[in-house]
Amino acid sequence: RRIGLPVPPGFTITTEACIAFQKGGKFPDGMMDQAMEALKQVEIESGKKFGDPVNPLLVSVRSGAPISMPGMMDTILNVGLNSDTVKGIVKKSGNRRFALDSFRRLKQMFGGVVLSIPHEAFEDAISIIKVQKGKKQDIELDENDLFELIEKFDDVYK
């Protein structure tokens, strides 16, 4: 931002905090408060609120490394979308298909990265919907198809 490039607001949770969480099974003392304070600052800078169904803030969670490793690090996009906030995205964007596809992508990424659900489980659900609807490409899925796909992803989570 100092050199005039558009950089969205954000914050970093250190590797040390992650290691402490993995070892102890809980957040280190004070970490949750620090993260919530940082999120509050992002809300102020963006003019949006995390979890707000009217003006939702969506964030990306990206892993990092001391050196660049394109394609090797996990990312989860659209964190903050849920069945309530997706309605706010529809209203703000005017594009229900976009909002539902974003929600679908969140569910797929979160399931794979956080819950270690095999990628194939989601791809199988997508294939089933495409066959049922007579569509060849993911981009051909309309908003009703995506709504059904989100429900199928919910079944994958079970």
pLDDT reported for residue 71: 65
Is domain 60-157 in CATH 1.20.80.30, yes or no? yes
Q: Which residue blocks in the chain are alpha helix, DSSP H?
A: 15-24, 31-46, 85-93, 96-113, 119-133, 143-157
Which pTM does this prediction carry? 0.88
Q: Would you state the structure tokens that stand for residue 135, as one six-digit string?
A: 């569509």
What's the angle, vertex CA 9, arms to CA 5 and CA 13, rounded to 5? 125
Region of residue 28 (left: phi > 0; alpha: psi -120 to 50; beta: else): beta
- List the domain boundaries for the chain: 1-47, 60-157
pLDDT reported for residue 152: 97
What is the spatial distance between Cα 71 and Cα 75, in angstroms, rounded to a whole number? Answer: 10
pLDDT along the chain (158 residues), means of 10: 85 88 90 95 97 97 73 86 97 97 97 95 98 96 98 96
Phi, psi at 101, each rounded to 5°: -65, -35
pLDDT reported for residue 1: 62
pLDDT reported for residue 123: 98
Phi, psi at 6, each rounded to 5°: -75, 105
